[in-house]
């Protein structure tokens, strides 16, 4: 019950926070792209949270723990947060001031990409019970090399990259996309640092790197 309450509180706070960042700059609740995004993100998030609470409460607890200890990762998290805040605020302002003229089909394609990305996000969580929001090597942790982990070493980051780049398009804002774009660099920095931690503390990770050559994009990187 304590875990359920904690998860529900964070869910509601997140929904209200993102909603405020979108609709306050927009100056109107008539920002339909904002409602579309909230539905596409938070409804699957709620469903995933319920499934984790029922099937994998320990994993849900790890995902709720956002206290990063690595110095580099603290900077990465802070920069990511600033990018997202800026992206949402700019999207709201874009709606109010009419900066972007985005075709409807771009919004639809981006919405599909977002949903597929979130489904793959759930699949990665199913495959890897050691996932947490912080960079760490957990007790008795083993290398996971099945499923998506047999294709790229960091499927979670690969999926979130597609998800986050789809967000400004769902919101109908080209200018917001400029705010989210640097997230690619943030992900690269996070991966480089994480792999140093895993190589130093996780048995078999160096061998895994030899078997699975690519980090997030097959045949590219």
CATH value at residue 68: 1.20.120.1630
Note whether residue 143 is domain-resident.
Answer: yes
Q: Within the chain, which residues score under 50 in pLDDT?
A: none
Nearest to 148 by CA among 90, 218, 210: 218
pLDDT tens figures, 135-173: 555 555 788 888 889 999 999 899 999 999 999 999 999
Note whether residue 145 is domain-resident.
Answer: yes
Q: The whole model's pTM is what?
A: 0.87
Nearest to 129 by CA among 118, 140, 115, 119: 140
Note whether residue 53 is domain-resident.
Answer: yes
Backbone angles phi, psi at 139, to 5 degrees: -60, 130
For the record, the structure tokens of 4 come out as 């359920």
Note whether residue 206 is domain-resident.
Answer: yes
Note whether residue 219 is domain-resident.
Answer: no
């Amino acid at each position: 019950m304590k875990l359920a309450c904690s998860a529900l509180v964070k869910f509601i706070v997140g929904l209200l926070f993102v909603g405020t960042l979108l609709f306050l700059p927009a100056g109107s609740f008539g920002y339909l792209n904002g409602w579309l995004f909230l539905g596409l993100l938070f409804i699957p998030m709620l469903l995933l949270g319920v499934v984790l609470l029922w099937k994998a409460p320990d994993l849900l607890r790890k995902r709720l723990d956002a206290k990063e200890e690595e110095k580099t990762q603290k900077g990465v998290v802070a920069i990511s947060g600033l990018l997202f805040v800026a992206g949402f605020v700019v999207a709201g302002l874009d709606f109010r001031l009419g900066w972007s003229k985005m075709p409807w089909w771009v919004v639809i394609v981006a919405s599909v990409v977002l949903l597929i990305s979130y489904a793959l996000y759930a699949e990665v969580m199913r495959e890897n019970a050691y996932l947490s929001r912080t960079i760490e090597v957990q007790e008795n942790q083993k290398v996971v090399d099945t499923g998506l982990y047999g294709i790229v070493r960091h499927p979670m980051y690969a999926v979130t990259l597609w998800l986050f780049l789809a967000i400004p398009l769902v919101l109908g804002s080209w200018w917001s996309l400029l705010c989210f774009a640097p997230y690619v660099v943030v992900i690269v920095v996070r991966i480089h640092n994480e792999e140093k931690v895993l190589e130093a503390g996780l048995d078999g990770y160096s061998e895994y790197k030899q078997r699975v050559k690519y980090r997030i994009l097959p045949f590219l990187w």
